[in-house]
Amino acid sequence: MTHATATANMMHPPAPAEPGSGVYSNKLGMWVFLASDVMFFTALIGSYIILRFGLSEPWAAPGAVLNVPLTGINTFLLICSSVSMVKAYAAIADGKKYFLRSVPGKMLQDGGLKFWMLVTILCGAAFVGVQVFEYFKLVQHGLTPAGFREGSHYAELALADPVKYGAATAGLFGSTFFTMTGFHGFHVTCGVVSMLYLYFTKVLPEKYSPTDFRGIETIGLYWHFVDLVWIILFTIVYLI
């Protein structure tokens, strides 16, 4: 085989499903990465459980320190972005590459890949924006990764009610909270940046087709996993 032929063969698109694993390499690779990410988040969540429930001193009531209604709205945003992602997947599987299209006899227009991907990106970006706002407010009121800042609003509240605000464990509360939600926020940010890249390089130029939309399925798996992790984090950090 000459060098030219070998190069030409390498340029051929891979088969949609490769023999052996039964799925194409991008998807298999994403699943293996997600399996490793399960262990990564387990290390964080497991450490949190042990640190929190292994202590004899009281832990701050999440509702007293954290803004649960705001985070509830953020959780709703992430769930919406997950459903819009799967709608984007379904749209391209049906060959709907367009943004919006009128359907005879229906009031609402039918969304295509371009529309649902944009909704996903906007919801994801809004989630990160709300999280940054939440961090800003928490730090402003005195919650830092090192605990309650001296002289701050939270420090005064903790002095008045050390049990409700977990005065003795504020350092652990702050460090575990910012580490877990921070790493999750980093995952969301990476997802939004990746989707923006796909949107401008593949979705808008209509490079995906019903027979090959590997990028959409692969980024979709990542995005749903980020949603799944948030479901767990929201429960154990904000509700328990």
Partner 1 sequence: MSEHVRPNYILIWAYLFFLTVIEVAAAFLSHIPKHWLILILVVLAVVKALLVAMYFMHLKFERWRLRLIFIIPLPLAAILVLATITEKIW
The footprint of partner 1 on residues 75-134 (CB under 8 A) is 75-76, 79-80, 82-83, 85-87, 90
The footprint of partner 1 on residues 32-61 (CB under 8 A) is 32, 34-36, 38-39, 42-43, 45-47, 49-50, 54
> DSSP secondary-structure letter at 132?
H
How far is 89 from 77, CA to CA, in rounded Å? Answer: 18
Q: Tell me how crowded residue 139 is: count the other CB atoms within 10 A of its CB.
A: 15
Listed ranges 74-82, 145-153, 175-183, 184-192: which one lies at the site for partner 1 (CB under 8 A): 74-82
Residue 203 Cβ vs partner 1, minimum distance, rounded to whole Å: 19
Interface residue with partner 1 among 132, 190, 193, 232 (CB under 8 A) is 232
Residue 121 Cβ vs partner 1, minimum distance, rounded to whole Å: 17
Residue 149 Cβ vs partner 1, minimum distance, rounded to whole Å: 27
Residue 235 in the binding site for partner 1 (CB under 8 A): yes
Residue 163 in the binding site for partner 1 (CB under 8 A): no
CB 27 within 8 A of CB 217: yes
The β-bridge partners of 101 are: 110
Listed ranges 71-79, 95-103, 150-158, 174-182: which one lies at the site for partner 1 (CB under 8 A): 71-79
Residue 97 Cβ vs partner 1, minimum distance, rounded to whole Å: 18
Burial 8-28 (b: 16+ CB within 10 A, else e): eeeeeeeeeeeeeeebbeebe
Return the number of the residue (14 or 46) whose C-beta is nearest partner 1. 46
CA dihedral 134, 139, 141, 147 (to 10 degrees): 120
How far is 98 from 12, CA to CA, in rounded Å? Answer: 27
Q: Tell me how crowded residue 210 is: count the other CB atoms within 10 A of its CB.
A: 12
Nearest to 99 by CA among 109, 107, 89: 109
At position 240, the amino acid (one-letter code) is I
Pairing of strands 147-148, 110-111: unpaired
Binding residues (CB under 8 A) for partner 1: these are 21-23, 28, 31-32, 34-36, 38-39, 42-43, 45-47, 49-50, 54, 63, 68, 72, 75-76, 79-80, 82-83, 85-87, 90, 217, 220-221, 224-225, 227-228, 231-232, 234-236, 239-240
